[in-house]
Amino acid sequence: MNTEKYIPTPEDRERVKPQPDKLKVSGDGVFATLQGEGVTAGLPSVFLRLHYCNLTCGMPNGWSCDTRYTWDTSKREYWQEPQDWSYEETAVKVSDAWGSAFSNRQERRLVVTGGEPLLQQRKIARLLQRLPGWEVEIETNGTITPIPKLQTCQFNCSPKLENSGNFLQRRYKPEVLRVIDGLPRSQFKFVAMDASDLDEIDRIADECNLSPEKILLMPEGHTKEEVEAHLGVIREAVEARGWGITLRNQLTWFGPKRRT
């Protein structure tokens, strides 16, 4: 494994700066596939992957984020892959991706992911003005309160636990989780590896008064085999609590590779 830290050039540093009235998009850009996780798993969707994140899952230890290229400044991809797209340009790319992959479907679904999309949420709101009639899901880590203009979207909130390697004060914002729980369309997806993770989720759910029917557990893993192993460890305890389970179906469908 290459652990050498990438040294950005002056051009790289300019490339990652936010630009007015443009979305900072990751190297994945826009891609059409099936939603792999959560309550809408299996549904045809267009994904828009945005750059930047305010958490660093896997640093210095913990399970490793599978989109490190959106935030890890030690990686060449973080500096060299981001793109600046206008709202109109992004809307066209999203619509074209849907038309190429799912033209026979009437319901159009956009999943805005990252990184942490809500770092650019006011720009997302301007984008959605150009995509009327779309079902929109926004994936978030639960540390930023959604602005009112986005609160009719579906929020797939994945609060991070101690197993992510982030400090508690950075990853856990009870006031934000309470707001998201109160939205008409929201779910909470916790990444779990063992029984101690479930005890931590119990504390969060109690403190934030989260709706039990909105809680999903996803076994951690970067391969189908890792997910199934962690599922075996937590399944009975999750069922006893009345929570749901979601798998990372994309690993079964496509394997552990980037979707572009």
pLDDT tens column, 8-62: 999 999 999 999 999 999 999 999 999 988 899 999 999 999 999 999 998 776 7
Over residues 209-231, the mean pLDDT reads: 88
| Tokens representing residue 143 in the block | 């540390």
Domain locations in the chain?
A: 10-254
Question: Is domain 10-254 classified as CATH 3.20.20.70?
Answer: yes
Residue 257 pLDDT more than 80? no
pLDDT digits (tens, 9 = 90+) for 236-253: 989 999 999 988 777 776
Phi and psi for 110 in degrees, rounded to 5? -115, 130
Half-sphere exposure (CA, 13 Å, Cβ side) for 176?
Answer: 20
CA dist., res. 230 & res. 239, Å (int): 14
